[in-house]
Amino acid sequence: MSWLFATVYDPFMRRTEEACLSQWRDELLAPLEGSVLEIGAGTGANLGHYPRRFVRSANGTERLVLTDPDLYMLERLRKRPEAGALEIARASSDALPFPDESFDAVVSTLVLCSVPDVERTLAEVRRVLKQGGALFFLEHVAADEHSPRRRWQRRIEPLWSKLAGGCHLTRETDRSIVRAGFTIETLTKESMRKSLPIVRPTVRGIARKI
């Protein structure tokens, strides 16, 4: 199933990327500076959206480390032309193989829906972030509590999770980020156009470790 998910991911997301995701990735990643860790980098959908200074093959000056636990995702990631000489590591976000306070920023896009333990991941993200560093996130989340969409999300979640790499539909990720001790600096809630209705509600923004 993991092979299938990695194989269909980019074609499945193409219309959504064109409709909105691509622009959101550009805007989210534009302010990044210093040393950056991306968790759940998948097939490398963010690679074309990092500021050019991060891409070493273009004489980048900053550090960018890409991680994912899935071998099939990593295989596709490594084949991207932009991956060039970037640091790529196999790692799960609940046990990041990096010292405390080693990054200025952590990027997570469409990942916190899939990790088995959100709290553990957010604790790891906080641990590897320097004081004053920030989590740059873009995640699909649960619909409003009593809405029909939320009811559908709850019904479909068990099957969906099996088909879509462990993805959950009813996580209240922005709340989890606050509970983990981050200070939310910017938060945008928007519908992810040209995607399945069950994954349309999204949050994106910057959460700082103060």
Q: What's the closest the beta carbon of residue 146 comes to ligand SAM, in angstroms?
A: 27
Considering beta carbons, is residue 69 or 205 the nearer one to ligand SAM? Answer: 69
Considering beta carbons, is residue 80 or 150 the nearer one to ligand SAM? Answer: 80
* Contact between 64 and ligand SAM per CB under 6 A: no
Q: What's the closest the beta carbon of residue 81 comes to ligand SAM, in angstroms?
A: 17
* Contact between 165 and ligand SAM per CB under 6 A: yes
Q: Is 40 left (phi over 0), alpha (psi -120 to 50) or beta?
A: left
Residue of the chain from 35, 92, 173, 202 that contacts ligand SAM (CB under 6 A)? 92
Could you please report the per-residue DSSP string of 139-188?
A: EE-PPPTTSHHHHHHHHHHHHHHHHTTT--S---HHHHHHHTTPEEEEEE
Judge contact between 180 and 204, C-beta under 8 A: no
Q: What's the closest the beta carbon of residue 163 comes to ligand SAM, in angstroms?
A: 12
Window 94-153: residues binding ligand SAM (CB under 6 A): 94, 109-111, 114-116
Q: What's the closest the beta carbon of residue 103 comes to ligand SAM, in angstroms?
A: 15
Residue 116, φ and ψ in degrees, nearest 5: -65, -35
Of 130, 127, 110, the closest CA to residue 173 belongs to 110
Residue of the chain from 35, 64, 66, 69 that contacts ligand SAM (CB under 6 A)? 69
Burial 150-178 (b: 16+ CB within 10 A, else e): beebeeebeebeeebbebbbebebbebbe
Contacts 24+ apart (CB under 8 A), 53-58: 55/82, 55/84, 55/86, 56/84, 56/85, 56/86, 57/82, 57/84, 57/85
Considering beta carbons, is residue 35 or 43 the nearer one to ligand SAM? Answer: 43
Residue number closest to ligand SAM, CB atom = 42
Residue with tokens 């080693």: 102
Stretch that binds ligand SAM, among 37-45, 52-60, 79-87, 186-194 (CB under 6 A): 37-45
Considering beta carbons, is residue 114 or 153 the nearer one to ligand SAM? Answer: 114
* Contact between 73 and ligand SAM per CB under 6 A: yes
Q: Which residues bind ligand SAM (CB under 6 A)?
A: 39-42, 45-46, 68-70, 73, 92-94, 109-111, 114-116, 165-166
